Amino acid sequence: MPLAPATGEQRATLLFQLCIGVYFLGGFLNSLVGLLVPRLRMIEGLNHTRSLLVQFAFHSSYLLFAVPITVLVVKFGYMRSIAAGLVVIALGCGLLAASLGSLGYMTVLLALLAVAGGVTFLQIAANIVVPVVEPARRAVSRLTLLQGFNSLGTVLASLAGSTLLLGTGRQRSGALADHIRVVLPFLAVALVALVLAAAFISRRDLLPASSTPRRVPLPGIVAVLSNRRLLAGGGAMFAYVGAEVTIGTLLVEYLAMPDILDVSPVAAGQLVGLYWTGALIGRLVGARYLTRYGATTMLLGCAMVAVGLVAVAIGLQGPVAAAALLAVGLCNAIMYPTIFALSLPDDHSTATYASMLLCMVVVGGAIIPLLTGVVADAAGLRMSFMLPGVCYIVIAAFARWRHRTWGL
């Protein structure tokens, strides 16, 4: 007897479950890329600016590829685009594994650009499939919960990746063994990405035909992209990604400083797991409280607390300063899904183009860390955290503005 067609609620639930794997993989991969920076800085001996080019290469692809990928998403649909992005990630991770072995620094940057091209597919398509099949208020909560699984991936990658990527400099067991330890996590990501791609292709019927992105004439696209809500949200998203990536990337070196915790790179890398654990806990708890207290109120409160914690990390020393900077992860917890949902236009049929802009401004994760690295080389690592602090002020301003215009 043939199975009855899935209801809209069942399709939404199954699609949400598939997206869990995508978000987990994205968090795992993002954390691995972040650990490449302290490896290049503390083990390979590069300065802040040059080592932070890793994040520049990874996040600049969002700006470079967002427009052509949006065209592909509109043409082929969300599910096929997610599958394509996962395949590109797998290929990019394979190239990255090869380049980390013997192909040199510039090839590493090119491989990261390729990996991030696949991630751009996911940023544009995967972030939309949940809001278009869920009621508006539940969409914020479910996006936050998905970000919780993203954080779980970053936590596990911090714990495992710090040993594999940062331990090779002190535990010399032969060039081949070192190479295997470094490339193993990226090869694992490639394998999981291919499995997920097959799952999305086989279940592409989960998204109803009515949710297919529609082509919008050029004047309509201009109107969508000039929406005040979207532009303000784009500025907040630029600031958020820049701040989170900067702090998560520089935490290893910060915690290893003699006047902070004076620990080894491996130990510092494992402690960074607490930063992502804070984001994990905050997202799982925040998904529940967002509907109770309102998205804009939660966003404003988290941004202002983050400003205070960054100030403590700059002004104090020892465990208190370390704990303050690690606690910023808890404040980051609800920011991405909340800013994303607060920025989208009311017309979901044009959401792909809005998502394109919000994906492009993720280039903040390329620009803010690089600028912070320049400041760190000139004025010291501690003072460079002033730049992420300013980013959180920008987010607070957006939350206050949206509260006045939306009342949530």
Please report, for the domain that includes residue 72, its CATH number. 1.20.1250.20
Task: Identify each DSSP E strand in 36-112 by its residue range.
Answer: none
Question: Closest by alpha carbon to 381, among 329, 306, 319, 325?
Answer: 325
pLDDT of 87 > 90? The answer is yes
pLDDT of 240 > 90? The answer is yes
**For 40-73, how does the pLDDT look when each residue is reduced to its tens digit (9 = 90+)?**
776 666 777 877 888 888 888 888 888 888 888 8
Q: Compute the distance between CA of residue 58 and CA of residue 55 in angstroms, rounded to an integer.
A: 5
In a domain, 271, yes or no: yes
pLDDT of 103 > 70? The answer is no
Whether residue 267 contacts residue 167, with contact meaning beta carbons closer than 8 Å, is answered with no
**For 46-55, how does the pLDDT look when each residue is reduced to its tens digit (9 = 90+)?**
777 877 888 8
Instruction: Tell me what the mean pLDDT of segment 130-145 comes to.
Output: 69
Q: Compute the distance between CA of residue 299 and CA of residue 64 in angstroms, rounded to an integer.
A: 29
In a domain, 259, yes or no: yes
What pLDDT sits at residue 204?
A: 78
Whether residue 306 contacts residue 236, with contact meaning beta carbons closer than 8 Å, is answered with no
Q: Which residue has the higher pLDDT, 269 or 261?
A: 261
In a domain, 3, yes or no: no
Residues 110, 27, 336, 89, CA torsion sign = positive
In a domain, 198, yes or no: yes
Whether residue 140 contacts residue 156, with contact meaning beta carbons closer than 8 Å, is answered with no
Cα separations in angstroms, 364 against 131, 239, 256, 265, 391: 24, 6, 26, 26, 10
- The total of structural domains in the chain comes to 1
In a domain, 27, yes or no: yes
pLDDT of 1 > 50? The answer is no
**For 27-38, how does the pLDDT look when each residue is reduced to its tens digit (9 = 90+)?**
899 888 888 877
Task: Give me the percent of the chain exceeding a pLDDT of 90.
Answer: 34
**For 161-202, how does the pLDDT look when each residue is reduced to its tens digit (9 = 90+)?**
888 877 754 444 566 677 778 888 899 999 999 999 999 998
In which domain, by residue range, is 219 found? 8-205+215-406
What's the maximum distance between 2 C-alpha atoms anywhere in the chain? 71
Instruction: Tell me what the mean pLDDT of segment 99-113 comes to.
Output: 78
Whole-model pTM: value is: 0.78
In a domain, 1, yes or no: no
In a domain, 2, yes or no: no
Q: Lowest mean pLDDT of 89-98, 159-168, 252-261, 262-271, name the range.
A: 159-168
Tokens linked to 294: 């309102």
